[in-house]
Amino acid sequence: MGKLTNKYAVVTGAGKGIGRAIVERFLEDNVAGVAILEMDIDLANATAKELDPTGNRVIAVKCNVASQEEVHNAFEQVFAKFGRVDILVNNAGITRDSMFHKMPVDMAKLVMDVHFYGTFYCCQEVIPGMRDRAYGKIINISSVSALGNVGQCNYTAAKSAIEGFTRTLALESGRKNITVNAIAPGMIDTDILKTIPEDIMKQKIAAVPMQRLGQTSEVASVASFLASDDSSWVTGNVILCCGGQKIKA
């Protein structure tokens, strides 16, 4: 028995990085099945094969979460394979950083489409079934940047939208035994940080009380808690997972 025995999950953007670590952790927790919804299908197929060579518990489905049609088609495939989804992790994400005065509006819309609308579309696919069965766990990956970060007005707006959405969906879903929470990671050692120049990274790490980057497994362990019945009385929260980065003295 594990914490996620008999549960079926979807994790978006899980070809690599935080999403992949969440899939790995869910497998350790004995999840019955997990679908990776990923734009880069070759990466997702390789990850699925590596994590589950039998192909029985991990499936890869091509999906750009910014497209409502692709999200709908992807969930049709997931429902055909697993029958239902008990746990949804909205993790897929990108950054397109620029100072506001130089940022083309398309750059803001793209980031909003992937993060906020991607989360919205995926929730629309699972909420009806979760309400019918009176059971569900939704985990939205936000960021400490939701509180504000120079060069990321598009990303901070999208993550703030996700946090507001999380609270309202929690209010609307509580009576149906569906919990909705967000995790706000600080700097986690993944490819998404590779666009940040080395000198700036050094300054940023120096400002973290724990003086290091976080690891993907450290976000996955929070996701494991929120996906399991250990968190049955936890809903509408944004859990910071950032080595103390946002402590105000």
Ligand X SMILES: NC(=O)c1ccc[n+]([C@@H]2O[C@H](COP(=O)([O-])OP(=O)(O)OC[C@H]3O[C@@H](n4cnc5c(N)ncnc54)[C@H](O)[C@@H]3O)[C@@H](O)[C@H]2O)c1
- Closest CB to ligand X: residue number: 17
Q: Is 135 a catalytic residue?
A: no
β-strand partners of 240: 184
Q: Considering beta carbons, is residue 52 or 163 the nearer one to ligand X?
A: 163
Residue 119 in contact with ligand X, rule: CB under 6 A: no
Helix, strand, coil percentages in the chain from 3-state DSSP, rounded to 5:
50, 15, 30
Residue 147 in contact with ligand X, rule: CB under 6 A: no
Residue 111 in contact with ligand X, rule: CB under 6 A: no
Residue 185 in contact with ligand X, rule: CB under 6 A: yes
Residue 24 in contact with ligand X, rule: CB under 6 A: no
Residue 140 in contact with ligand X, rule: CB under 6 A: no
Residue 65 in contact with ligand X, rule: CB under 6 A: yes
CA–CA gap between residue 33 and residue 56 (Å, rounded): 7
Supply 98's token pair: 């620029």
One residue of 30, 40, 68, 163 binding ligand X per CB under 6 A = 40
Smallest gap from Cβ 81 to ligand X, in A, equals 18
Q: Considering beta carbons, is residue 39 or 126 the nearer one to ligand X?
A: 39
Residue 58 in contact with ligand X, rule: CB under 6 A: no
Contacts 24+ apart (CB under 8 A), 206-214: 207/245, 208/242, 208/243, 208/244, 208/245, 209/243, 209/244, 209/245, 209/247, 210/243, 210/244, 211/243, 212/243, 213/187, 213/188, 213/189, 214/185, 214/186, 214/187, 214/188, 214/189, 214/241, 214/242, 214/243
Smallest gap from Cβ 63 to ligand X, in A, equals 6
Number of residues that bind ligand X (CB under 6 A): 29
Binding site for ligand X (CB under 6 A): 12-13, 15-19, 38-40, 43, 63-66, 91-94, 114, 141, 143, 185, 187-188, 190-193
> What residues are annotated to the active site?
155
